[in-house]
Amino acid sequence: MTRQIVLDTETTGLEPAQGHRIIEIGCVELIERRATGNDFHQYLQPDREIDAGAVEVHGITNEFLADKPRFEDVVQDFMDYIKGAELIIHNAPFDVGFIDAELQRLQGWEALESYCKVTDTLAMARRKHPGQRNSLDALCGRYDIDNSQRQKHGALLDAEILAEVYLAMTGGQSALSLDEEAGEDGGVETQRIRRLCADRPALPVIPASAAERQQHQQWLAHLEETSGVKMLWKDA
């Protein structure tokens, strides 16, 4: 069973070395490339002021976080949730750096990669699309993924969007569930996979006729003559 956790965080600023903290964690669970609905989402009290520039990005305020738990209060649940999974993160060094900084403040915890494999979708996108913009919004446009709800950054919403981007970028699948199809009214209908009976009649095999095989060889000979390249499969 392949278990992947698509993860995103929001923070008080850009540098954990300057004492900035995580204020939101959002995770989407994929098992065998399918969303399970077993997500993890938590706002956190950072015990410091949020930079004004960061508030403009994610819209989370100190007042909103005043009654939220601290990282130390949720660390066990969070680490139990992600342990052993492959983490899918866009610009992974940023999020991993913040999580590692939080873990280092507490006793008994090692660096994140001691518990999980980490895959950076930004590095993956740069290899796949060199010289192009590879932000999450740019990838949504490239893979035709709707991000219209993304007025501001939010960890869980961004994790959901990244999950769709990752599926599209790694296998052509652009939806979190293969069971969902649009209904006639534009809504979503759930369709189960229909499995064929093991004792069903065998499909008929209709071989090419002698005339068809001869025409095929003649066409290959024509291609070989006009292209000047030997057809490797001509006599196969």
DSSP calls for 73-101 = HHHHHHHHHHTTSEEEETTHHHHHHHHHH
Structure tokens at 23: 């204020």
Concerning whether 129 is annotated as a catalytic residue, the answer is no
**Do you know the residue count of the chain?**
236
Residue among 74, 86, 59, 68 nearest 157 (CA): 59
Residue among 74, 23, 85, 81 nearest 49 (CA): 23
Question: Taking the mean position of all CA atoms in its chain, how far away is CA 12?
Answer: 24
What is the chain's alpha carbon radius of gyration, rounded to the nearest angstrom? Answer: 25
Which helix (H) or strand (E) segment holds residue 217: the answer is helix 210-227
Residue among 165, 180, 193, 17 nearest 97 (CA): 17
Of the residues 90, 129, 153, 216, which is catalytic?
153
How many beta carbons lie within 10 A of that of residue 222, not counting itself?
11
Could you give the residue numbers annotated as active site? 153
